[in-house]
Amino acid sequence: MRLLKFDDQGELSPTGDLQDDIPPYAILSHTWGDDKDEVNFDDLKHQSFKNKAGYAKIRFCGKQAKKDNLKYSWVDTCCINKANNTEYSEAINSMFRWYRDAAKCYVYLADVSIPDGEDHAERTWERAFRNSRWFTRGWTLQELLAPASVEFFSREGQRLGNISTLEQQIHEITGIPITAFRGTPLSQFSVDERMQWAAKRNTKKKEDQAYCLLGIFDIFMSPIYGEGDHAFIRLNKELGRSPQSINWESGNIHPGRGLVSFPLPRNKNFVGRDQSLQEIHRMVTSRGFPRSGSVKCIVKGMGGIGKTQVILDFESAVESYCTIAQKIGLSNRPSPWSIEKDLGREAVFSVQEWLTASENGNWLLLLDGWDNLKDERMGSLIPHGGSGVILITSRREDWARYGDGLDLPFMKEAASLSLLSKSSLAEYGQGNPEEFDAAKEIVRVLGNLPLAVDQAGAHIHNLKTSARKYLSRLKENADTLSWTPPINLWPYGKGVLSAWDLTFQELESLSPKVFEILQVCAFLAGEYISENLLKFGFKFGQKDALARVVEDGMGDLFSFSLAKREGDDDGFSIHTVLQACIRQRLSRLPGLQRQEFTETALLVVAGAVQKLTSERQQDWFTYRQVLSHITSCEEHIDDTLLRKPIFGSTRALFMLGQFCDKFGRHDQAIRWFQRELNTVPHLSVQSKLECRDGVSTAKLLKGQYNEVLAEFHALYAEATAQLGVQHGLTNKIAHSLGMTYKKTGSLENALRWYMTSLSQIMEISGEKDHRALATLNNIAVIYKEQKKYGEAFEIYQDVLRKKEEALGEEDLSTLETVMNIGILYGRWKRYDEALQFLQRALCGKEKQLGKDDPKILAVKGNIANAYLGSGRLDEAIKLHKETYHGYKKVYGPEHPEVFTTANWLGKDYCQKRCYAKSLEWYEEALSGRKRLRGEHDAQTLETVLGFGETQTWLWFGTLWDTIGGTSAQGSPSSMAPVFKGDAIQMTSENHPS
């Protein structure tokens, strides 16, 4: 164990590695910032560590230790040599003991502030204390429970109290019994109970969620970073429990769970909905739950009335007999299908499959904020079997046709008063009639709206004012309010608007930068906003002052109840009604001033995109949130005012277009590319060409092949003239021309452009460049289409060998070539070898991308084609149908691949001799291909031929029946066509970008 010591001159130095006779020491408990801001072990060798933001915590710990007559202190950021794996492993397992043996533990709360000159006795910091991130972190659990002496300090170093004086508040925040703070051995609490304490806490590394519990359970386990969820399996084994017996995110311990749920954070001030909960329970049980079937119930009501909290409280009430609870927020997504695209189509299907399986027991699915009923595909999110409850919240009255519903009423006066009391931390009763009357008038003026009452209580508590004074200010402000509600049919009284405006004024006065951040957040998707996203985004948008505020903590945002902490890491949410009010308040400003906040929000999201792209993160939850933020920004941006030079220097709009295109939002991508072209001043020639290429590439991915041919030709000519024939963008456009010609069936032109692209790449970068290999792959595709199988196979083998050497066997580019070799074997009618390669491609891609990625559809389609060629017709039909529906959902009903797959289904059913069914599929393929490609296109004519052949066999069969043919051997069904020609046509091409 190493310790720190400050000498008389205030200089810091570490001790050696102490084994025995360790002197008394103080220990710091805190929340980590960015790693680059923390003082680490190596930093202590250089005096520059004093310039790091994290040094302030170390200096505070040393000064406080000196006040307590302690010469030594310990801080985790710099007292462990993490480069030494042995030392790090020992530290992980010794951490609980080190905190337990400390003479003092100082909890430094960076997000709790007591400004200079404030009367500390008024305890204005208490709400920020309750919302502190320190209570959400995994490692701080043992730092709370292990030491004999725990003291809490504000960011300024002011003492807030110790674990004894704050035990009631900490109990309410954490749910940990007070006896645990008073020295009761942790072994006296059950494993399940201790797991429950940790259930809503988070760590930066997934494995640490298990490692931070080692001391809590008094066990030893070597850390293995990179093992992911396997850390929990090892932890369970050490505890003598089965691997399935813990579900970390849900916080509930049940055997046999097979599905992970997200945390369901609840408002601790929730009151007054017992009757509504009983009504939901009545509706659910009257339909047979939990004995049989699934039950759907809709909770309707205006925004802010408490719908989300009602369903979360219901989850708490039924968790004892539910295997799992899952909540999906829908309020910031335009349609149910956007959920499937963001969460992943296959992920949604997998959840449905799990929920409908009877062996998985009872479950609860919460669909929160479903206000868009236009999309008929809503059913894709709702399981139609299994034993569970589906609770849906919505502001829409016309949900009644979808199932039993509850119109959530306003709270009654008594419940509103109770909520006001809890949120203001004040008592209102007959003992003080003036305050009691004022409180009753406050909740009346606020219409008993829970969202407004909770926020008013926070305002009262934060300013340590009385209910009477607050009521007076509330009414005065309502009379002088200078802005109108955000919509004409504003369902709330003017008092609600006045209450929020009062708090906006107060926050703007106390913390102008925090208020500025709140106004920026009004243009983001309110359901989940990450502090890291804000921090990186503000730095990207050259708003360094705002980034520093985020780093230091935005306590006032939470203490005024304008935002709520989410259970997942550093996220918080802002209610959509509150966001609408903030935007409406900003509407008083001139257009350019108001646009400033929208543009900052847009730059914040672009900064997040840049961060995700540079780190190549594969975090689908983060991707989903960023896509929601992009959509929200687009709803509020005014293109006519988008003229800032920063959009040219950062290429923010172009990056948003690329990000949307990557996730299949091609129309949205096109709008962002065009927005940069049309609004950003002084764009370079290359930037303009890149935007136009982005538009054309998105159209290509949408299947608008004929339209983009002319665009790509024009682009290639301009890029050659302006940038040169060897420029990367010129080469990319040449490759896109090859892809487009391939899609239109013009193989010679496709080959010519691929060869052009290849020669340019090889001249500059050589034959092993990844773009050269991708282009060679596509040249082989052309040879295959031209039935030059020998040439194609030779290229594929060479490309596969080079890719496996350079990229590895499981790289996505390698797997593309594996798939194309499988397709080629299918053309040779060597179906066993074809399926071997195709299955390898499928397994590898699912491992790399997840089963939900649209790119998986092409592999499945080719496997179905191989099934058809080998006569496994039922398997071919099943997989072709799955592929057909997949393309339809991912790309829409008019995408070319939808009609290509319909054409294959026509072949499937014809070979199975189901001629009527075959004609149905051919008719769909024919009508679609005519619309997209015209009557004389090669693919249209292919469908005409298949349709005609099937009609012939159907007519022949009818004629045979008419003339009384009976011979099985000579019947038309026995002479039905067997497609032994090109059984496989779907291919996969590589884009070298």
pLDDT for 680: 85
Max distance between CA atoms of the chain, in angstroms, equals 114
pLDDT for 986: 39
pLDDT for 181: 93
Q: What is the DSSP letter of 456?
A: H
Q: How far apart are the first and last CA of the chain?
A: 51
pLDDT for 376: 44
Q: Are 83 and 205 in contact (CB under 8 A)?
A: no
Residue 780's nearest CA partner among 789, 772, 771 is 789
Tokens of residue 948, six digits: 């005609």
Q: Are 316 and 423 in contact (CB under 8 A)?
A: no
Separation in Å, CA 748 to CA 636, 712, 821, 824:
47, 17, 21, 19
Domain ranges of the chain: 4-184, 274-409, 767-993
pLDDT for 334: 41
DSSP-assigned states of every residue in 642-655: ---THHHHH-HHHH
pLDDT digits (tens, 9 = 90+) for 601-643: 999 999 989 888 876 555 556 777 888 899 999 988 887 777 7
pLDDT for 852: 62
Tokens of residue 603, six digits: 């730059």
pLDDT for 84: 81
* C-alpha to C-alpha distance for 406 and 418, rounded to whole angstroms: 23
pLDDT for 85: 76
pLDDT for 605: 94
* C-alpha to C-alpha distance for 277 and 260, rounded to whole angstroms: 25
pLDDT for 985: 39
pLDDT for 975: 44
Q: Provide the CATH topology of domain 767-993.
A: 1.25.40
* C-alpha to C-alpha distance for 317 and 311, rounded to whole angstroms: 10
pLDDT for 400: 54
Considering the domain delimited by 274-409, tell me its CATH architecture: 3-Layer(aba) Sandwich (3.40)
**Residue whose entry in the numeric block shows the structure tokens 């799992």:** 324
pTM metric for this prediction: 0.61
Q: Are 716 and 734 in contact (CB under 8 A)?
A: yes
Which segments of the chain have a pLDDT < 70? 115-124, 228-230, 241-272, 287-293, 315-361, 370-387, 396-404, 488-489, 566-569, 615-621, 852, 957-993
